[in-house]
Chain A
């Protein structure tokens, strides 16, 4: 044991990363807006808090309803925002939403190769991997390899449909309702609908787990 060669575990923790150009620009604009009284620091904090508070629970509620109500599901597939508004959810500020349905022969998965477009209103803040270059570059080119890394292996004769959301549309995957869930309530079904199953990198959870 060479004590003197060991890294000093008592070095002070320091902020090392420097702000990027765009971070500096945002900070400058924000400081100016606050200085001019156009908004307050609390307005900014509140907006961030509201964004972070959105969660996949909203999407799960929509999917569970689609599983139990065929008319709602049909409406969701034709005009997703209008269908969701019937649940009392405020969709006024949402981007155009398109719901795509997984079936025994079709599996859908969503990506944004250009940036990180994501149905935040329904799913909250996207996971880091969704924004990674690795996922974005590879899922369009080798979808089955990527899905396998997520633990999902699909029959070779199934049709995997990758949606690259490059524009104004946001895509929501309706996972297949798991077998053995016939007796479950809508609330219990919503518990089986995970974020990843609505992106399409996995299926909804089974009722046992």
Chain B
């Protein structure tokens, strides 16, 4: 496990051919590791009859809604609150350390 709860991470931006489970809307965004789920078989090879090994660490990553959808903040009525968060499961090979603030 490369990351620990509390670590700041950036979701990689990529569109590899085939099946992957990292939605575009979260790519490039910076979040914080909320929890480490453990290691799970990789859906990117499982989807094509592979065995999904080596297993990939899977993390729950937390984002501020105001960061993901910055452009929507001024909409009325507010689509989300200032404290609202999005949490999403991301495999380790889609994470990279976030740049310094």
Q: Are B87 and A162 in contact (CB-based, < 8 A)?
A: yes
CB of B67 within 8 A of chain A? no
Enumerate A134-179 residues with CB–CB distance to B below 8 Å: 140-145, 148, 154, 156-169
CB of A203 within 8 A of chain B? no
Smallest distance from the beta carbon of B44 to chain A beta carbons, Å? 11
When distances are taken between beta carbons in the complex, the residues of chain A under 8 Å from B22 are: 166
Q: How far is the CA of A143 from the CA of B87 in the complex (A)?
A: 13
Q: Which of B58, B78, B79, B83 contacts A158 (CB 8 A)?
A: B83
Q: Are A164 and B81 in contact (CB-based, < 8 A)?
A: no
Q: Is the interface of B mostly helix, strand, loop or mixed?
A: mixed
Q: How far is the CA of A196 from the CA of B65 in the complex (A)?
A: 23
Q: How far is the CA of A148 from the CA of B80 in the complex (A)?
A: 11
Q: Which residue of A lies closest to B86 (CB)?
A: A162
Q: How far is the CA of A63 from the CA of B4 in the complex (A)?
A: 30
Q: Which of A140, A159, A164 contacts B89 (CB 8 A)?
A: A164
Query: For chain A, which range describes its interface: under 10, 10 to 19, 20 to 34, or 35 or more residues?
Result: 20 to 34
Q: Are B86 and A145 in contact (CB-based, < 8 A)?
A: no
Q: Are B89 and A142 in contact (CB-based, < 8 A)?
A: no
Contact with A along B25-55 (1 / 0, CB 8 A): 1100000000001101001000000000000
CB of B14 within 8 A of chain A? no
Q: How far is the CA of A76 from the CA of B76 in the complex (A)?
A: 38
Closest 6 CB pairs of A and B: A142-B79, A167-B89, A164-B88, A160-B84, A159-B83, A168-B40
B residues engaging A (CB < 8 A)? Answer: 21-23, 25-26, 37-38, 40, 43, 58, 60, 65, 69, 72, 77-91
A residues engaging B (CB < 8 A)? Answer: 96, 98, 113-114, 140-145, 148, 154, 156-169
Query: 11 A-B Cβ contacts within 8 A?
Result: A96-B38, A113-B25, A141-B69, A141-B79, A145-B77, A154-B81, A156-B78, A156-B82, A159-B81, A163-B87, A168-B40
